Amino acid sequence: AAAGAAAMAEGEGLISVDYEVSGRVQGVFFRKYTQGEAKRLGLVGWVQNTSHGTVQGRAQGPADRVRELQEWLRKVGSPQSRISRAEFTNEKKITELEHQDFQILK
């Protein structure tokens, strides 16, 4: 397992993906929960509200962990949220993480 972790740290299988979630996702602590879930999965990136009522952001990390967050953004969200759609764009392989942690942007 230690060897696997070392390989991961060297950027094997890291991906970056942008997301936008529509539905009842503002004013329901969606960003806070997204940040919590991303940190639990060990991902970096950001999340913010948009002016048109959606939540958008970027997630980076090991591909399988990013997939877990995508599934969470599609189906779970924060307790009070109602997700109608989650779109994922600009998915790409990256050699290193471009963010230090997972932040909520204003």
Q: Which of 31, 40, 65, 85 is catalytic?
A: 31
Per the DSSP assignment, residues forming a β-bridge with 104 are: 47
Measured between alpha carbons, how far is 20 from 64 in angstroms, rounded to an integer?
19
- Does residue 90 have an active-site annotation? no
> Which has the closest alpha carbon to 59: 28, 76, 77, 34?
34
Q: Which of 24, 40, 49, 90 is catalytic?
A: 49
- Does residue 49 have an active-site annotation? yes
Residues belonging to the active site: 31, 49
